[in-house]
Structure 1
Amino acid sequence: MPLTRFSVKPLHTLTRTLAAVAMGRAAPDLVITGARVLSTYTDRIHPDREVWIKAGRIACVKPAGTAKKHFATVAGAKFSIYDAAGAILAPGLVDPHVHIESSMMTACAYAEAALLNGTTTLFCDSHEIGNVCDAEGIEWMLRDARQAPLNIFLTVPSTVPATSPQFETAGGDLTPAKIGKLFDKWPEAVALGEKMDFVQVAMGDKRSHAVLAEAIKRGRPVCGHIYGREFVAAGAASGITDTHESIDRDIADDFLENGIWV
């Protein structure tokens, strides 16, 4: 089942088709021609290229004009051409961490604005709606996200409620069991969201580590949220794989030395 109505077929179902197109044995569906192509592999902008698209996937990049010349004598070869002369083709941007609800917009509305600015994939930590509406709110947001014109993946909120009942009245309580069910039900639930209770993790809190276990035993990455150099090693030892809280060079170095991406 595609994640969204815009999703392409899985790569493993298309490898023979894409190989045939790349070799010129079969025609692409679409050729985007005349543009310069930005390659993030070579760190270069390659001039006068065309991109062959088949089944929504890039089959190959060729010198501009190749398709017309090659398929001119191939009976029945038909494809659409988009003239992108003067443009630069670049990979879409990926936003690795966003709280869509903080924008006060639905996932679809947010996606439209993001797409217009070059972002084609979002990784959303729906902590806020989970903190108010529990797992039901997260699932509502995921159903909406499936209609968005880009890919939206979920990092399942890991710390709901964020604090103890003495400090907040939360509408949600995402227990380890609920988190496990979200992973199992929604294929776009690809990681555990930022583990904000990093002190509890370091001190061995049972619930915190039970939440970690739901992700780790399913092979999902665990996103971190660590302040304080004294907590870095314990976070890494507990399975945290990345963090976006590198507030200075020293702690950033600590993260990297302990195997945590920043």
Structure 2
Amino acid sequence: MRTFEEIKNTIETGLGMHVCDLKIENVKLVNVFSGEVYPTNIYIKNKRIVSIDPSADLEAKKVLDGNGQYALPGLIDAHMHFESTMLSPEALASVVVPQGTTTMCADLMEIANVAGEEGLRAMLQSMNRLPYRMLIEVSSRVPTAPGLETTGAVLGAEEVANIMEWEESVSLGELDPSKILFVKDEYIKKVADTLAKRKLVNGHAIGRLGQELNVYASSGISDDHECVNTNEMIERLKVGMKVFIREGSSERNVDELIRGVIEHELDTSNLMFCTDDKHAREIQVEGHINYNVSRAVELGLDPMKAIQIATVNSAKHFRMEDEIGSITPGRLADIILVEDWREVKPTVVIFEGNVVAENGNLLEECKVEEYPDWLKHTVTLKNPITAESFAALSKKQDGSTKIHLIDMIPRQIINHHVLEEMQVKNGKIQVNIEKDILKLAVVERYGKNGNVGVGFVRGFELKKGALAYSMSHDHHNIVVVGTNDEDMALAVNEVARLNGGLSVACDGKILNSMELPIGGLMSEKPAEEVMAQLDILNADAKALGCGMDAPFMSLSFISLPTVPDLGLTDLGLVDVLEHKLIPLEAEE
């Protein structure tokens, strides 16, 4: 919020009474409000833009020659999760800021499910050191599926209302349809409290259409980042919901949705870009929100519209257009310079008036501070994990049986619920490697009950070994997929030994592993170290037969109990649309 002194100083600077801190001269300004591009100079004082008038002639302490480049507003990620990057907020800076992202709207539901309000506070301790802006979408689902999973913490309506008062809080985080369609009073109370504060409620409306979508929207849900096809996007726009077009590691939606926007000549003013969940290496190599912009233009979208989607649209949606999202007087000076506005590769990134990145590199390291020790000891196995922990018991002794199978959809987090005939030996359902039907399990890791939920999945293509990860949305118990129970047990025990992390096991040996001690979700190490280690783990998974681009990201989502059709928790298999546990074996 701007103070009297700040407003007065900005006015006086524009009148020539004070010297500007920075003049960016010789740029082509991309004005997302007027939809124009024109040559001008930009004047900055005390973090804010003083003038963009081509005729202004103000004195400045420093002058930056834009060399005729385009000046774009800093990019905004409308919805993301730090924990999915495996990096701390500090370490992530070196990856996203050079790509031009200066604001990230973060739902910290992962750390909240592990460690509650205190976990959120621990995460926020980094904010004053970051060369970008962190805004908080207050976690609405802690736990995500009450009664269907075990989590480390609970955030009730009162706790959520208190956190919503924090200065950084801009919305209620993604709320799945079951909380509305099953008329859950606690969640409706969270919605009502949020709307009473004139803040937004983020949606998570995957798979819902027709009257269900109408009922969902009627509760006050503002947006949705789960559209995977054009029809879903259009239906959400029809009921007054904004659409976040997502491009993550395992959820690739930009191509489909932007093609739909162009084909149907849709108004883009209610569209925004987000990453949701994207690994750091992919951000570094491919891009962040700048990738979404460049790809949209490549597909045929007008560059101005693509940039508006990435900037001012999000600022308006979160009711912050008076502060961010444009290069206009009085706004915070978040500016990126690019040689070609059709391919957004920043040469200079400015955050709140300071140059923070040049030519793909952060100018000053954002050091990872020490996180609380208790937050780095959140993995406790109540019972020993052995191969027998993963036995998939059948009602039959031998022969065959039908099971409910999680059938993955490539490059998406949704899955199909199919019935599959499986072999039974000695009362146990067997994997079928030839048909790519592997065992999937979730191990409770908070030391509360020792539950192990077991199911089967198709899509990982492992020929041998097992993969384990202590991030399984949104309960974040340990999830493991494998071709045999022995390697699965080995992989899970390695993750527990590390107090959270990833592991690859094969033939009774740990091939590689990586620790993620912050809540069992994030590393304390610099970005390059984490990315290099993840590259090794991905290569190990590939060597075992997995053809996925991001196997651990897919592993983290496949058990999610709020994304259709099926999920898996420590309590067992979940029918997502019916929001209930179902047996592994289908009824005869």
Asked if these proteins are the same fold (TM beyond 0.5), I'd say yes
| Greater displacement, 174-183 / 18-27 | 18-27
Contact 1:199 1:231 in 2 (8 A): no
> Per-residue CA shift, 1:74-102, capped at 9, x if unaligned?
xxxx6322222243321100000000111
Cα distance in 2 between the residues matched to 1:200 and 1:157: 14
Equivalent position to 1:200, from 179, 185, 202 = 179
Aligned to 2:81: 99
Q: Does 1:57 align with 2:48?
A: yes
Query: 2 CA distance for matches of 1:165 and 1:202?
Result: 17
Residue 12 (structure 1) shift: 5.3
What is the DSSP-based 3-state SS (H/G/I as helix, E as strand, rest coil) of the residue aligned with 1:90?
strand
Q: Residue 137 of structure 1 aligns to which amino acid in structure 2? A: G
Alpha-carbon distance in structure 2 between the residues aligned to 1:98 and 1:118? 15
Letter in structure 2 aligned against 1:258: V
| AA of the residue aligned to 1:192 | L
**2:226 partner SS:** coil
Q: 1:212 & 1:160 partners in 2: Cα distance?
A: 14
Would you say the 8 A contact 1:134–1:171 is kept in 2? Answer: yes
Partner of 1:18: 10
Q: Distance in 2 between matches of 1:209 and 1:13?
A: 41
What is the match of residue 190 of structure 1?
170
CA drift at 1:157: 0.6
Aligned 1:171-250 pairs, distance under 5 A: 171-184=152-165, 186-196=166-176, 198-227=177-206, 228-229=208-209, 230-250=211-231
CA distance in 2, matches of 1:190, 1:108: 21
Residue in 1 aligned with 2:541?
none
State TM-score, norm by structure 1: 0.84
Q: Which runs of 4+ in 1 moved over 4 A?
A: none
Structure 1 residues 249, 83: CA separation in 2 closer, same or farther (over 3 Å shift)? closer
Q: Percent identity?
A: 27
Q: Which amino acid aligns with 1:219?
A: R
Paired with 2:235 and 2:212, the residues of 1 have a C-alpha distance of 10
Match of 1:37 in 2: 29
Listed as ranges, the matches of 1:117-132 within 5 Å are: 117-132=99-114
The residue identity in structure 1 corresponding to 2:84 is: S
**Match for residue 139 of structure 2 among 145, 148, 157:** 157
TM-score of the aligned structures, taking structure 2 as reference length: 0.39
Q: Which whole-Å CA distance do the structure 2 matches of 1:14 and 1:152 have between them? A: 22
Residue 81 of structure 1, aligned match among 63, 69, 73: 63
Alpha-carbon deviation of 1:235? 1.6
Gaps of 5+ in 1: 1-8, 72-77
Picking from 119, 125, 143, the partner of 1:137 is 119
Native 8 Å contact 1:52 1:58 kept in 2: yes
Q: What is the identity, as a one-letter code, of the residue corresponding to 1:52?
A: Y
- State the superposition RMSD in angstroms: 2.1
Distance 1:158 1:12 in 2: 35
**Structure 1 residues 13, 238: closer, same or farther in 2, change over 3 A?**
farther
Deviation digits for residues 90-134 of structure 1 (CA, Å, limit 9, x no counterpart): 110000000011111111211332111000001000111111111
Deviation at 1:19, TM superposition (A): 2.8
Closer, same or farther in 2 for the Cα pair 1:118/1:128, shift >3 Å? same
Other-structure match for 2:129: 147
1:130 is matched by which residue type in structure 2?
A
Stretches of structure 2 lacking an aligned partner (at least 5 in a row): 244-588
Residues of 1 paired with 2:94 and 2:3: CA distance?
Answer: 26
Is the alpha carbon distance of 1:213 and 1:146 closer, same or farther for their aligned partners in structure 2, counting shifts above 3 Å? farther
Residues in 2 aligned to 1:63 and 1:253: alpha-carbon distance in whole angstroms? 40
